[in-house]
Amino acid sequence: MSTFRTCNEIRIEDIGTQINVRGFVSKTRNLGSMIFIDLRDRSGILQLVIGPEHLEYELAKTIRNEFVISISGIVVERQSKNPKLATGDIEITIIDFNIISQAKTTPLIIAEQTDALEEVRLKYRYLDLRRPNMQSRLILRHQVNKIIHAFLDNEAFIEVETPILSKSTPEGARDYLVPSRVQKGEFYALPQSPQLYKMLLMLSGLEKYYQIVRCFRDEDLRVDRQPEFTQLDIEQAFASEEDMYALIENLLARIFKKTKNIDIKQPFPKMQYETAMNTYGSDKPDTRFDMTLIDVTASTRDADFSVFALAEHVKFIAVPNGAKLSRKEIDALTEYVKIYQAKGLAWLKYQNNTLEGPIAKFFSEEEKHVFIQSSQADDGALLLFVADSLDITNKALGQLRIHLARKLELIPADSYNFLWVIDWPLFEYDADDERFVAAHHPFTAPKEGTEYMLKSEREQMLARAYDIVLNGYEIGGGSVRIHDPKTQKAMFEAIGMSENTINEQFGFLLEAYSYGAPTHAGIALGIDRLMMILTGTDSITDVIAFPKTLSARDLMMQSPSAVSAEQLSELAVSSLKEK
């Protein structure tokens, strides 16, 4: 049996050696007296050459891009070397070749860069994945998974698989439901996470659990969110917040060192949730650049400008070199903040030590001095104000901050800023349902000593929860869990669950806690988002082999799709879709 070598491993030291290689044809060049073929496999590119003296020269003329071929040939030194290729010093003179498979003209360019639309790339994903940069991302993902396994194995964690067919419970997003054929009229749910199972594993005495697991959420999609995603799921008995910080920081430092040869500074900084929201307008702040939110509510109360004087909150950001923006561009920014419910956007330009703009006349020199000093604005800055409720002001300016940083290229390249966001609210108030809901999930422990507040002071309670943020993306989140059945039941009651609902949905959990439960904490890291940042792409679809569109469709497999009436009948489910 012939031994085949990969394209990228052939070097000048192999001159004179007969080798066998196979792969896809990346490019052909017929110079009349010679045919050159670039052969591609996942390792790289290798140049082949065949002359008219070859018996199958005429057949070689028929070879086109993306044909699959195998060849046997002699390694020779190239007369015209290509320093851009690892194999650029040599080429292979073909002795024998075989066309394994022919290929039609592809609907997209198979190269590092392609001009194909996203829809085309997803419809012909198997072709898109032939592109070297797409393959390198998946290979890096494989390497990261290996690092995770090795690291956690060394920390004595046990990998345990948990069920995919699970129980529908109110944990946040909508569940994907699976009807049962055997138990007609009843449904499984695909897991949003293995949350309940990993807590039960702590009660089982496993002490340290992990799993790289597929999860499912039926929610609105965006560039960093898919309906099915992969997370690193971790739970540890007798662990505190500090234990989880140290574990995850060491793991992420190992990943960045081994994949990018970058030394990540530890420990990671910590920021309270309230600080993050008030200073950056986001619970996942990007700290690679400044341009923080400046609160001038108090100093504008007496201003001769009612929009500011009467507003609940007035905040602004100082955009470096933003004074160069035209009136048209600023008007576009006004429309941008309206997406986030802001009523408008006021502005001032700081030029030649003077604040100028439509609202400048409403402020005294003392008030203008406050604007400059509080933001430490440099000459040429643009000051952008929002006056509204605290939530709207923070969100609108927080989003505008990110938008302008990207537009004006204020974010330093190749920088990685990690951050723990801590001291989260335990509850959020749902105005539509007129009740409190769990800010993370109902298994999150409240700050120690505040359990008594569950019945009366819920809006003031803080959670023992923590999110890990990288470059403005939440790449993970976790918490110390409730382990006492009385506290857990009180938590369920605090979010409006009746006795019957508690027993129906979580009776098994409360009973499990009654047999003895260790304290425990956990976290889940989003592998897809982490890989998006590691590979420097802006879209999560670039690091997932077979992703969905923003409308949750698989264009390649054409799913979701209709099923037969017979299948629905077996499941006791009626189709609601009109034909």
Integer-rounded Cα Rg, in Å, for the chain is 30
pLDDT at 13: 96
pLDDT at 1: 46
Residue-wise pLDDT tens for the chain (579 aa)? 468 999 999 999 999 999 999 999 999 999 988 999 999 999 999 999 999 999 999 999 999 999 999 999 999 999 999 999 999 999 999 999 999 999 999 999 999 999 999 999 999 999 999 999 999 999 999 999 999 999 999 999 999 999 999 999 875 678 999 999 999 999 999 999 999 999 999 999 999 999 999 999 998 887 788 999 999 999 999 999 999 999 999 999 999 999 999 999 999 999 999 999 999 999 999 999 999 999 999 999 988 899 999 999 999 999 999 999 999 999 999 999 999 999 999 999 999 999 999 999 999 999 999 999 999 999 999 999 999 999 999 999 999 999 999 999 999 988 999 999 999 999 998 888 888 999 999 999 999 999 989 988 899 999 999 999 999 999 999 999 999 999 999 999 999 999 999 999 999 999 999 999 999 999 999 999 999 999 999 899 999 999 999 999 999 999 999 999 999 999 988 876 554
Q: Do 574 and 185 touch, CB atoms closer than 8 A?
A: no
- Burial annotation 337-373 (CB, 10 A radius, 16+ → b, else e): beebebeebbbbbbeeeebebebeebbeeebbebbbe
Residue 249: how many CB atoms within 10 A of its CB?
A: 18
pLDDT at 396: 98
CA–CA separation, 181 and 177 (whole Å): 13
Q: Do 358 and 306 touch, CB atoms closer than 8 A?
A: no
124 Cβ contact list (under 8 Å, min separation 6): 106, 107, 108, 556
Residue 467: how many CB atoms within 10 A of its CB?
A: 22
CA–CA separation, 330 and 407 (whole Å): 12
CA–CA separation, 80 and 187 (whole Å): 66
Reading the block at residue 181, the tokens are: 């054929």
